[in-house]
Structure 1
Amino acid sequence: MRVLTGTAVVAALLATSVPQPAAAAATVQIAVSPNRYVTNDGVPVGDIPAAMIGSNQRWPDDGKGVWNSAAGRPADNIVSLSKNAGLDMLRYPGGTVANLFDFTKAIGRAAQRGCQTSGGFANGQFSPTDSRFGPDENEKMADAIGGRTQIMVPTINRTAADAANYVEYMNSPADGAATNPNGGTDWAEVRAANGHPAPYGIHYWEYGNEPYHNDQIYWRSTDPAVRVQQFIEGGWQRQTAANAPYANNDGLFSGCDLANRKTANGQPNQSYRARFAPIALPGDAIGKPGVGEPILEPVLKVNGVVWKRVNVLTNQAANAQVYRITRADGGVHFGDGTHGAKPPAGATLSFEYVSGIHQGFLAYRDAMKKVDPSIEVCSGWGQPRFIDAMGTRPYDCLGIHSYSSPPADGTPTRYNNLQYATVNRDAELRDFRTRLAAKFPAAAARPELVVTEYGTLIFPEPAYEARLAHVLYLGGQFAGQIENNVRLSINSNTADLPLDNGGFDPANMFGSGPQFLTTGRAALFSLYKSMVGSHAVSTTVTGNPSLTSPNGNYGALRVVSVCAGNQNRLMVLNRDPANPISATVTLTGRQATGSATVSTLNAASVESYNAPEHPTDISIQRSQAPTSNGTLTHTFPAHSATLVELTGTTTCGS
């Protein structure tokens, strides 16, 4: 079968005919107010920014296939697909995989770049990873699609000065003067030398990624109450075999490979490194914030025998069992056999130490905003625990990861669990707004709410995230984000490599290369992008059929409405998997005129998804529907997402 890609897929989507059920007597009423939607904490929802259509853009493997490193440009077809979907915001260098990323190793000529260390999930936790798709390549990608970038700032093995240097590289002018407020390298001039004299102007920066998850603790405490304080204020934590969250935390490693602990090689001047730099020593904690006192002396063992730490090796005897450390990089160094003993080849090396003293969110935000005061620095600990621990100390934005993990116990139950999960996600966002309002009563001082990842976790097969059931779930999440005044939204993920067996992976916005295509979620966003620049207005649905899940009931129709001037747009999700629903749409206080443009995304089944062998199973049909007496009556097909575009007799309210 011929594989359609790029604009060919979009044309096919628009041309595909999905049968529409015959109109029936409408018992459901959708009333669209002219008034701006107001959140539960009293804030009128602003105009919908283009940044609401974003994706998590991971850096490894040429951005998981979106970049052609040999040609120095985006991969074939990815630009047109991104533009058609309205993709505006790329979250770089990704999430969990980027927790140990170092931007300085990903810039300049390819031959000069160093390897990176994977933070987990993709490419193996703590494993060495490439640096081909660096910040400059990502910006070329963003420029090609007409979009922008939000940067997740890694905090593990990094410092506030490193983060400030990152801001300097991306945002400061290359003016020939030393503009780095931290001193040292003028990173703006380095960017200019790398081919981009003008600043990139990155506005949104996020400190850390999911530090509340047990698989992303790294050097921090396993106690969440302690860990959140370390996240905010910095601190230290002892790394041992007994109480570390990861295997081999008491090992020694080399280079960017922090997965495979080393045994001694028997050579002179052996050098290794601890997993989490820097190394703290007794006395460091005096006057410093943090938790975990006292800071104890490191304990290094060679074949189970404790060796002694010394400051220098040059004055040591040939057989002295000693070592020295370089604290900032976590280095552990042995003698040459003349000045200090050499650990014998094959000897086991164990190193228990205190990782620290690390800086926290407060220090990072301060250092970054000294470079560019206009940026927003978001907290990556998007949970109530952070809001409570942070208190009234100012911050710019709170980065939420809005995931659901509904149980997958049978197809009908799985479907209902998934759709009901949007009820919980909406409630979660409202709760965040309430909590932030309690800490910051003045709305102008209140941190913005941004969603820096959303989707689902823990489904039994990868393709489920591509299916129409999942597309409808994402549509419901997006509607809730609009009504909760979310200012930036990142879907997970842009693309991925083919599956291990070489097959196509459809569970991303554009699937996997080299045959990227318009997935169901990309088609959904192509409808939602028409709402950018409008503001949400209040909508009520009466007579809405109720659907049942094991966790509770939810309305079959989920409706979000926006207005700009006299133009109204409604996204109507019919989540009933079997039944069409006829409804009358009324513009309260106004009348609809002319015909409505109706764009319906649908498929044969909630289990349908797009793949190279069947690229348009989820498709969009456009039609015109006449209004009558100022209203529109329309039948919304089962398991569909329908964009209705109406013109009113007068403009909507402010």
Structure 2
Amino acid sequence: MAFSRLSRSGLSCLLVAGPLVAVVATSASAADPEQPVVLVRSTQQQAPVSPYLTGTNNDQWFRNSHGLWDPSSGAPNPDVVAKTRRSGLGMVRYPGGTSANLFDWKKAIGPQDRRGCQTDGRSNGGDGSLDSVFGPDEYMKFVEAAGVEPEIMTPMSNGTPADAADWVEYMNAPVGSNPRGGVAWAQRRADNGHPAPYGVKFWEIGNEPDRIPSQTYWRSTDPKVAARQYAFGGSQVQVAQQVARGCDRRPAASTSDGTAGQEFGVLYPPAVPGSQTVRVGGVAWTPVADLSTAGPDDRVYTFDPATGAIRFGDGVHGAVPPAQSVLRADYTAGPKPGFVDFYEAMKQADPSIDVCATWAPVTSASGLNDPSFAELMAQAGRADDYDCVAIHPYTNFRRDFGDPDWETAREGHDEHMLGEANATRLVRDLMADVAKNSTGGAYVAISEFGALWFGGQRDVSSYPSWQTAMSHATYMASQWARFADLGLPWVMGNTLISETSDGLRAVLGGPPAYVYTVDATVREQLAPVLRAGGRSVQTSLFENPQVVPVEPEPAFGTSYDALAATAMVGADGNLRVLVVNRHPDQAVTAKVVPAGFRHTGRVAVSTVAGEDFTSYNGIGNPGDVQLERTTAHVGADDFEHTFPAASVTVLELHPA
């Protein structure tokens, strides 16, 4: 799109090639034809602006969610609550992502001494058996104290549609109602101390089911097969799979300890009856209906296909598996339910909720460019049987750029910015796919995003603060600008708190300090913009400076835009312009043209910027990057503003 400015008798006209737009504004002089211009067409409204754009994942619920919950007081940590409120977070997800994929909510309600253990959903059983202290009621106490919107990820790999529907009832049904019969879950909630319904509107089914191979669980590793299994359910052969001991799925739990009467279980019940082969130390043992008739040396076991339970003898009735022998099982898992089954049951429990699918691949290896979830649903005649699709459009430095490390901090900054454009494209493509195939008005949402390594990096000593520095903050702010323009109704990025004080990309770092990071500071800056309501308006950038990466990345282009911008007209009538300068070391002076918006000539300016793109807030330097607010008088028309290097700026104009 071409842009030029003509000046005659104190008037200036913006001429935009493409759809004809003529904007007339007074100006003292002609602009430099190479000067960057932020053109805000204030009368060309786009999507509603959501207050839930700056949500966050609550990555791990166990161990008191890294100190978010204080079990001694039975209340959320007041420091975390205060900082969450200050940051203006829109939404917090529970119980989290990968580690919560096998979470059982029914074990996490009621008196603490009656709660059960949880199974870690991470690869190889993660940390083993996990606690249930921070359950749904504790989560909602935090939600209510912090003033955020709740969103729940409902596990599906081991859960059932009935379990998910029961959870919806527990959270949302009024006392005295029992929409599906059976247990009166609303009364159970009241008995646990909260008579009023929580009213959780947003739910998603599963976490990253397309992630290959770590989160396929019972499904096939072929993404084409797995996509259909996610959508519609089915069965899948499991070969030489380790077994579990109670909630523990670590490899050591699949080893006999030599004691009598040991009980294990297959990982993904139910199993097709008769499909199992159980091996002890590589030798297949024989299934029997009853151990009581077995002799002391008989290598036998009983198997319950409904629960997956495997029980061995006590040395009198059936042999004991020798100590240190490894147990493995072949079996067919299934039939297992799919998204459609969960959706139907949950909507029966509460038709007003939004239930999101989560099959949204971001690479070819995980199913991108194969038939999509929306396509499969349309082909099955179920194009309106989902409310939304949630995607995780992470920038993964190792996957996307093939780098095991960064030689310089500047390389890390450049990869943030190049990756941001690709992440936005993934979201746009998914939106187009859903719009094409859905007949029920389904939308796209984001329950995780950010830029990270996902482990495996050799050395990032050249940029140790990368995960909480201005580079990451400008990446996030650029994404929020895009997502506002796209009209996403809710978005959650990074994680609220992490395991350690300098934990991975956490909004509040981790215990014990809970540092108010640059990420939190930018969220605080944007909160009043998003909470002002209104709609985004068409915003264009001309003569946008280009930044050339220090390391060529041909797959991502030869340069990236220095500026990213969007604007909103709030319900209060004010125009707010968000501009992110991603240039690592150069300020950019741009002409801001609020076309069609007559303003008072006074602009309120909020800026987040450090000394350079590596600046961050840490335990020893908690105030290095702060939110600065100023006021400027700029005249009643377009005006110039200088945006510092690696900064986030909001300009607020009041109508004349």
Say whether the fold is shared (TM-score over 0.5).
Answer: yes
Matching residue of 2:375: 388
Residue 126 (structure 1) shift = 6.4
Q: Count the aligned residue pairs.
A: 586
Residue 641 (structure 1) shift = 0.6
Match 1:643 to one of 646, 650, 655: 650
Kindly report the root-mean-square deviation, in angstroms, between the aligned alpha carbons of the 2 structures: 2.2
Matching residue of 1:196: 194
Matching residue of 2:263: 271
SS in 1 for 2:566: strand
User: Which stretch of structure 1 is more off in the superposition, 487-496 or 584-593?
Assistant: 584-593
Residues 369 and 629 of structure 1, relative CA distance in 2, 3 Å threshold: closer
* Distance (Å, rounded) in 2 between the aligned partners of 1:265 and 1:635: 69
Quick check: 1:605 aligned with 2:583? no
**After the TM superposition, which residues 2-13 of structure 1 pair with which residues of structure 2 at under 5 Å, given as runs?**
none
Residues 343 and 481 of structure 1, relative CA distance in 2, 3 Å threshold: same
Residue 336 (structure 1) shift = 4.1
Matching residue of 1:15: none
Contact 2:151 2:203 in 1 (8 A): yes
Matching residue of 1:99: 101
Residue 647 (structure 1) shift = 1.3
Contact 1:592 1:627 in 2 (8 A): no
* Distance (Å, rounded) in 1 between the aligned partners of 2:304 and 2:188: 27
**After the TM superposition, which residues 227-376 of structure 1 pair with which residues of structure 2 at under 5 Å, given as runs?**
227-241=226-240, 249=241, 251-259=242-250, 260-281=252-273, 297-317=275-295, 319-376=297-354
Deviation readout 1:53-109 (Å, 9 max, x if unpaired): 211113112112211111111213111211111113110000011001000111111
User: Which stretch of structure 1 is more off in the superposition, 636-645 or 451-460?
Assistant: 451-460
SS in 1 for 2:447: strand
Match 1:580 to one of 556, 580, 587: 587
Residues 264 and 417 of structure 1, relative CA distance in 2, 3 Å threshold: closer
Match 1:518 to one of 516, 519, 532: 516
* Distance (Å, rounded) in 2 between the aligned partners of 1:320 and 1:491: 55
Matching residue of 1:60: 62
SS in 2 for 1:52: coil
Contact 1:626 1:632 in 2 (8 A): no
* Distance (Å, rounded) in 2 between the aligned partners of 1:124 and 1:464: 29
Quick check: 1:590 aligned with 2:597? yes
Matching residue of 1:434: 432
Contact 2:94 2:139 in 1 (8 A): yes
Residue 366 (structure 1) shift = 0.6
Higher relative contact order (CA 8 A, sep 6+): 1
SS in 2 for 1:454: coil
Where does structure 1 lack aligned partners over 5 or more consecutive residues?
1-23, 39-44, 242-248, 283-296, 650-654
* Distance (Å, rounded) in 2 between the aligned partners of 1:350 and 1:585: 66
Matching residue of 1:540: 540
Matching residue of 1:447: 442
Deviation readout 1:27-62 (Å, 9 max, x if unpaired): 222221123444xxxxxx12x222222111131121
Match 1:509 to one of 507, 510, 520: 507
* Distance (Å, rounded) in 1 between the aligned partners of 2:193 and 2:581: 50
Match 1:632 to one of 629, 639, 643: 639
Contact 1:592 1:631 in 2 (8 A): no
* Distance (Å, rounded) in 2 between the aligned partners of 1:228 and 1:527: 40
SS in 1 for 2:291: coil
Residue 432 (structure 1) shift = 1.5
Deviation readout 1:121-166 (Å, 9 max, x if unpaired): 7x96262111111111110000001112100001121111111111
* Distance (Å, rounded) in 1 between the aligned partners of 2:64 and 2:491: 23
Contact 2:238 2:331 in 1 (8 A): yes
Residue 584 (structure 1) shift = 2.0
Paired letter, 1:272: F
Residue 263 (structure 1) shift = 3.4
User: Which stretch of structure 1 is more off in the superposition, 90-99 or 327-336?
Assistant: 327-336
Deviation readout 1:534-590 (Å, 9 max, x if unpaired): 310001222221222332232211111000243000111111122211122222123
Residue 337 (structure 1) shift = 4.5
Matching residue of 2:40: 32
Residues 159 and 635 of structure 1, relative CA distance in 2, 3 Å threshold: same
* Distance (Å, rounded) in 1 between the aligned partners of 2:335 and 2:431: 33
Matching residue of 1:402: 393
Paired letter, 1:626: H
SS in 2 for 1:104: helix
SS in 1 for 2:219: coil
Paired letter, 2:220: S
Residue 304 (structure 1) shift = 3.6
Contact 2:431 2:443 in 1 (8 A): no
* Distance (Å, rounded) in 2 between the aligned partners of 1:238 and 1:125: 23
* Distance (Å, rounded) in 2 between the aligned partners of 1:425 and 1:266: 51
Residue 505 (structure 1) shift = 3.1
User: Which stretch of structure 1 is more off in the superposition, 251-260 or 263-272?
Assistant: 263-272
Contact 2:434 2:443 in 1 (8 A): no
Residue 345 (structure 1) shift = 4.2
TM-score if structure 2 supplies the norm length? 0.85
SS in 2 for 1:158: coil
Residues 581 and 252 of structure 1, relative CA distance in 2, 3 Å threshold: closer
* Distance (Å, rounded) in 1 between the aligned partners of 2:387 and 2:106: 26
Contact 1:506 1:519 in 2 (8 A): no
Residue 495 (structure 1) shift = 0.2
Contact 2:587 2:642 in 1 (8 A): yes
Paired letter, 2:332: V
Contact 1:173 1:188 in 2 (8 A): yes
Contact 1:165 1:180 in 2 (8 A): no
* Distance (Å, rounded) in 2 between the aligned partners of 1:51 and 1:203: 12
Paired letter, 1:31: L
* Distance (Å, rounded) in 2 between the aligned partners of 1:457 and 1:411: 14
Residues 306 and 579 of structure 1, relative CA distance in 2, 3 Å threshold: closer
Residue 350 (structure 1) shift = 2.7
Contact 1:81 1:517 in 2 (8 A): no
Residue 318 (structure 1) shift = 5.1
Residues 344 and 31 of structure 1, relative CA distance in 2, 3 Å threshold: closer
Matching residue of 2:494: 492
Matching residue of 1:213: 211
Contact 2:388 2:443 in 1 (8 A): yes
* Distance (Å, rounded) in 2 between the aligned partners of 1:52 and 1:597: 22
Where does structure 2 lack aligned partners over 5 or more consecutive residues?
1-29, 362-367
Match 1:108 to one of 103, 107, 110: 110
